[in-house]
Structure 1
Amino acid sequence: MDKRNSRLWGRAVRCLASASLGLAAFLAAAPAQASGAAASGYPDKPIRLIVPFSAGGQFDYIARLVAVPLGKELGQSIIVENVGGGGGNLGGAKVANAPADGYTLLEYGGNFAIAKHLTPNLSFDPIADLAPVSGLSIAPHVVLVSSALPVKTFAELLAYAKAHPGKLSYGSPGVGSSMHLTFETIKQHFGLDAIHVPYRGGSNALNDLAGGQIDMGIVAVAPAMPFLASGKIRALAVTSARRAVSLPDVPSVAELGYPGFDSGSWAGIAVPKNTPRGIVDKLAAAVGRAMQDPQVLRALESQSFTPISGTPEQLRALIDEESARYGPLIEKLGLHAD
């Protein structure tokens, strides 16, 4: 190759390289530009917030508490819709299959972080098919008994269960919920004999507990408070490391003989995967501001909830941590669905 052709070849290579770099930069910038464009006009219509459990439970309480201030932050109404069943998986599937446009939100909790371990044949991937937006709150569970049961302390419950083997039942918001797994852990540690009765949500379990259809229950503190005030149920223990602010006279499970025990349920917001990052960030910022509303903070504290709003990455870390925590527990308890 002569010098002239060599120079021309070198120039062509440099031009091609420059063009390739320009194309790569354009392609890299395109998603961000598209995401920003999608977010710029968002939202321009009402947004649905799917609660994957029945009305009246912990998830429903948090969703309805946050919906109004979140709607104000976004300038649109937030319509809360309860889609219970399948331990939350029916509601999760509905959101996973919704358009990835930011108009269908899911109240996401630990039940989804463990669903892959519990039910491997789901119609959707509860982690990969949903994109985290922000945390909302975390709260301890409370162990309850019906007032019809002749026990007033956890020690008396253990003694009663030992004297009446195979007779006691307990309700939870569903198979694979954090309440279910928490109570199964408590059962194993204390040798407590009780049959699990799964419900479509905490409120349904509470209604049957108050009516005497089941003997025990485990739900979040907030939805239990009106039933405790009525005297139809009794609180025997909370599952946080320390006593709950709203139930100062109720001991923790750790105090009762399970050192270091600490468990609770958390809620956050997720959207279908492939939702533009600009929309996700806009939602996360709005959630963060809504969770700092003074009325929201007072209501959370009164029911022993702690706000945990943050970035999508922080919620992703919580999901991964919960999945890693409960996966081995499900194996140990043999709770895999067929």
Structure 2
Amino acid sequence: MTRRIPRRLIAALASFSFLIPGAGSHAADLPESYPNRPIKLLYGFSTGGPADYVTRLVGRRLAQELGQPVIVESKPGASSTIATNLVAQAPGDGYTIMMGAMNQAVNPSLLPDLPFDQQKDLRAIAIAAFTPNVLVVSADSSIASVDEIVARARRAPGSISYGSSGVGTSVHLAGALFGTATGTELIHVPYKGIAPAKLDVVAGRVTMLFDSVVSAKKLIDAGRLKAFAVSSANRSALLPDVPTMAELGWQDFDVSPWYAFFAPASTPDAIVERLNAIIVATMSDPQEQANLLAQGVEPRTSTAREADAYVAAEIGKWGELVKRLELKPE
């Protein structure tokens, strides 16, 4: 079942409405000529993996519904800022859009010299999906629960380490937030990619790791990793027996890496609403939902206004953590 952005969250974010481009009237009509040429859909990730899958899925549906080719282009590098800058500088005519992820909310504070302003130069079209992380330790570890990790870390500050795929990644921020939420001092061990981080956790050289559910599941099923909790507000369909951090008593812990679609800020409301309707229909399709869940991706739907409010809140949330921990890019 597709989940919308929770209503209580949207209500709580009402104070962000002044940040939302185009939050006023939506009375404008869709131009009769739109679209009359191919649309570019960029994303800042390498081909393969969930981000690529979501982008191409939406690209295919847009092409079907709009009757024009949708050219999907991978522009990886620099934490998706290459792709984002291309879209931020593009005309707001609906012919250049992008799929972005949680780093769209982290980059403004982690990379202060960006050539664009995420909130002024872009507007959200829709939140499309979430990819929950799971907290794992080696199957050979004597640690048996999240509470035991916390107890050991409090007993001996600096004795618990966590791996990540690099500074500012969702798995790094999940580990950092775990430390602040539990009041513990953890040692961050960044790697160039998630694979070597996982191997060192399996071997016991690093204590723990937050990894995407789909990435960690094979090693969990093989009995090489123990899963203690998922980082999202809801349990994962792929690991239904693994509780959330909130269920274990850590109510303020919610790290839900997300995928959303963006357009230049000057894009008319009518075009954004048309694109939003197609994305919502895609994420609501039962067959597509099943395909997404098999990839470890949990489909969501939202209005454009809800998406803008959510991204604004995420920018504030992660900006505060980056500042508090004095994080710097690698």
Q: State the TM-score, normalizing by the size of structure 2.
A: 0.74
The superposition leaves residues 185-231 of structure 1 with CA deviations (integer Å, 9 ceiling, x where unpaired) of 102325252224165xxxx41x2234438844323323443454455
Q: 1:87 to 1:148 in 2, by over 3 A?
A: farther
Which residue of 161, 171, 174 corresponds with 2:164? Answer: 171
What residue is the counterpart of 1:331 in the other structure?
323
Which of these two proteins has the greater Rg computed from alpha carbons? 1
State yes or no: 1:36 paired with 2:24.
no
Tell me by how many angstroms 1:170 deviates.
0.6
Indicate the residue corresponding to 2:277 in structure 1: 285
Report the identity percentage.
33
Q: Distance in 2 between matches of 1:219 and 1:61?
A: 18
Superposition map of 1:1-338 within 5 A: 36-37=31-32, 40-45=33-38, 47-145=39-137, 153-154=145-146, 165=158, 168-172=161-165, 174-188=166-180, 189=182, 191=184, 193-197=186-190, 199=192, 204-205=193-194, 207-212=195-200, 215=206, 216-231=208-223, 233-302=225-294, 305-335=297-327
Structure 1 residue runs without a partner (length 5+): 1-30
Cα separation, 1, equivalents of 2:80 and 2:141? 30
Residue 42 of structure 1, CA deviation: 0.3
- Cα 1:333–1:209, aligned 2, differ >3 Å: closer, same or farther? closer
Q: CA-to-partner distance for each residue in 1:297-330, whole Å, 9 max, x for gaps? A: 2234456644332332121111122223233222
The one-letter code sitting in structure 2 at the alignment partner of 1:105 is: I
What is the alpha-carbon root mean square deviation over aligned residues?
3.5
Q: Confirm or deny: 8 A CA contact 1:147 1:234 kept in the other structure.
A: yes
- In the aligned structure 1, how far is the partner of 2:301 from the partner of 2:184? 37
Deviations 1:18-41 (A, max 9, x none): xxxxxxxxxxxxx957x614xx24
3-state DSSP class of the match of 1:291?
A: helix
Q: C-alpha offsets along residues 59-90 of structure 1, whole Å, 9 cap, x if unaligned? A: 23422443333332233444443333333323
CA distance in 2, matches of 1:291, 1:89: 26
Decide whether the 8 Å contact of 1:51 with 1:63 is kept in 2.
yes
Question: Partners in 2 of 1:44 and 1:222 — Cα distance?
Answer: 37
Give the secondary structure class of the aligned counterpart of 1:36. coil
Q: Distance in 2 between matches of 1:67 and 1:230?
A: 35
SS at match of 2:173: helix
Q: Is the 8 A contact 1:240 1:263 kept in 2?
A: yes
CA contact (8 A) 1:113 1:127 kept: no
**Higher RCO (Cα < 8 Å, 6 or more apart):** 2
Q: 1:62 to 1:333 in 2, by over 3 A?
A: same
CA contact (8 A) 1:95 1:106 kept: yes
Asked if structure 1 preserves the Cα contact closer than 8 Å seen for 2:129 and 2:259, the reply is yes
Q: Distance in 2 between matches of 1:287 and 1:242?
A: 22
1:130 partner letter: L
**What is residue 17 of structure 1 aligned with on the other side?**
none
TM-score by length of 1: 0.72
Distance 1:61 1:85 in 2: 18
Describe the shift of the 1:220–1:167 C-alpha distance in structure 2 as closer, same or farther (beyond 3 A). closer
Q: Partner letter of residue 209 of structure 1?
A: A
The one-letter code matched in structure 2 to 1:36 is P
The answer for the alignment partner of 2:20 in structure 1 is none
CA distance in 2: counterparts of 1:289 and 1:82, whole angstroms: 24
1:71 and 1:231 mapped to 2: Cα distance? 43
More helix by share: 1
In 2, Cα distance between equivalents of 1:75 and 1:98:
22
Secondary structure at 2:45's aligned position in 1? coil
Determine the C-alpha separation between the residues in 1 that align with 2:237 and 2:97.
30
Change (3 A) 1:53 1:190: farther
Against the structure 1 CA distance between its residues 242 and 288, is the aligned structure 2 distance closer, same or farther, given a 3 Å change threshold?
closer
* Residues 135 and 230, structure 2, Cα contact 8 Å, conserved in 1: yes
Provide the C-alpha distance between the structure 2 equivalents of 1:242 and 1:190, rounded to a whole number of angstroms: 23
Per-residue deviation, residues 158-205 of structure 1 (Å, max 9, x unmatched): 678778956845114x53344432220102325252224165xxxx41
- Specify the code of the residue in structure 2 equivalent to 1:72: Q
In structure 2, what is the Cα distance between the partners aligned to 1:302 and 1:91? 27
